[in-house]
Amino acid sequence: MLKTDNKSIKVIPLGGLEAIGMNITAYEFEDSIIVVDCGLSFPDDEMLGIDLVIPDITYLKENADKVKGLVITHGHEDHIGAIPYVLRELNMPIYATKLTMGLIENKLKEHGLMKTTRRKVVRHGQSINLGCFRIEFIRVNHSIADSAALAIYSPAGIIVHTGDFKIDYTPLFGETMDLSRFAEIGKKGVLALLSDSTNAERPGYTMSEKVVARKFDSLFAEHVKRRIIIATFASNVDRVHQIIATAHKYGRKVVVEGRSMVNVIGTAVELGYMEIPENTLIDVEQMKNYPDEQLVLITTGSQGETMAALSRMAASVHKKISIQPNDLIIFSSTPIPGNEKAVSKIINELYMKGAEVIFQDTHVSGHACQEEIKLVYALTKPKYAIPLHGEYRHRKTNAGLAMSMGIPKDNVFMLSSGDVLELSNESARKAGRVPAQGVFVDGLGVGDVGNIVLRDRQHLSQNGLLIIV
């Protein structure tokens, strides 16, 4: 599976390069295509009435006979959220680690696709063969357990696809990133490294999850007389786990609000990724049986999502929970680029209800900062660098890091979604484009709404509508 002279592999990102979200990349060699990740993104403010944006897989459908499988790096929505929609158009087997597969199966059950979808759970360190490719799963740290980088062995050479990662030398749960394996693969000769760019603008190292654990402990100790509400990402299993552990330490009961949060916790417990002390979790209806100082609520809505539980509490439209003046509300997240205004609106509404809101030092990122990104370049020593996962500015900074590590400028590629990059050990070139505009999901309609409809909706929102009868 090592490189063969004059053989080239095509790298085709179908999403994830213009903004955070909708990550999906195809790798093609002769009659074999593998797809890595299949995420969604959320609509911009101008996309009126749009619920989700999913990848355009026209190229994959046109080459369906070549597609050997879908390989997933981890279980975040921007990497798995579009799977049910894509499978309706192109059925292919899915390969993922255990927790990631559990989260995918939740979606397949919801969409009635369990019986028609082939699935295989893969362990870290294990390899699978798909067509002419061999794909090895490598353990990395991220803000969700069971995350993996991929070493993709092809006749053209080895490609390392990091997925989302950070280097945490002291993780709260699980093991450290398998840096030694990256080094071993680097010694074999890496054709290309496609790496996470999200935090490429941040110098230094990403802090360990243990920093947040200490902050939670101090906040719980300081506010023993108050009800505590914590908003975080539903998929951040380790973060939710440590919140529950801290609540148990201080004798508090835990209420989980938000359907996605409930589903993720249920899956994590079922698969052995989370242990919850007996009698710690209670239903929202049982809250009335306990004083406020004995309660912790873990909720969705950390990104200001309109229909999430915390947003409904802030707007006084939640049917069962009202914000009280004595509440302490902790945002254990940072706004995803584009969500800052929505998050600020929620924080203001919570303050107006008399609650105290804390959002400093209560979150650490799941993405690598500059020194971690540089370390992976140093270990893998790739011939070509292709920054992934981020806005243009993030990827441009990552490209600069690659060049600072000795990769020639001509070997660093800033791609756009839809670009086709042909790589071989002798040369690299952009060889055209494929459709990759994104497909709008509007209620039950997938792809029914285009730019003209969005333009009309914008006009209606600004100018109104006059009907003469």
Which structural domains are found in the chain, ordered by start? 9-204+366-446 (3.60.15.10), 209-358 (3.40.50.10710)
User: Which of 76, 124, 363, 367 is flagged as catalytic?
Assistant: 367
pLDDT of 335: 87
Question: What is this structure's pTM?
Answer: 0.90
- Residue from 241, 278, 280, 279 nearest 261 by CA: 241
* Percent of all residues in the chain with a pLDDT value above 70, rounded to a whole number: 92
Range with the poorest average pLDDT among 317-326, 408-417, 444-453: 444-453
Q: What is the mean pLDDT of residues 49-71?
A: 93
Give me the mean pLDDT over the 170-191 stretch. 96
* DSSP letter string, 87-102: HHHS---EEE-HHHHH
Q: Which of 164, 168, 196, 238 is the catalytic position?
A: 196
Is 38:139 a contact under the CB 8 Å cutoff? no
For residue range 89-142, list pLDDT tens digits in order.
Answer: 999 999 999 999 999 999 999 999 999 999 999 999 999 999 999 999 999 999
Give phi and psi for 291, each to the nearest 5: -70, 155
DSSP 38-96: ---BPPPTTSTT--EEE---HHHHHTGGGEEEEE-S---HHHHTTHHHHHHHS---EEE
Provide the token pair at 87: 């499978």
Catalytic-residue membership of 223 = no
For 279: left if phi > 0, alpha if psi spans -120 to 50, otherwise beta; the answer is: left
Q: Over 70: is that where the pLDDT of 368 sits?
A: yes
Secondary structure class of 256 (helix, strand, coil): strand
- 438-441 contacts, C-beta under 8 A, 24 or more apart: 438/15, 438/22, 438/41, 438/53, 438/54, 438/55, 438/56, 439/53, 439/54, 439/55, 439/56, 439/85, 440/43, 440/47, 440/50, 440/52, 440/53, 441/40, 441/50, 441/51, 441/52, 441/53, 441/54, 441/85
d(CA 201, CA 264): 31
Q: Is the pLDDT of residue 455 over 50?
A: no
User: Which residues face 197 on adjacent strands?
Assistant: none
Q: CA 331, CA 308: separation in Å to the nearest integer?
A: 14
Cα 258 to Cα 246, 343, 426, distances in angstroms: 20, 17, 52
Average pLDDT over residues 441-459: 52
Given this model, what pLDDT does residue 43 score?
Answer: 73
79 is catalytic: no
pLDDT digits (tens, 9 = 90+) for 288-316: 999 999 999 999 999 988 889 999 999 99
Overall average pLDDT of the 358-382 stretch: 97
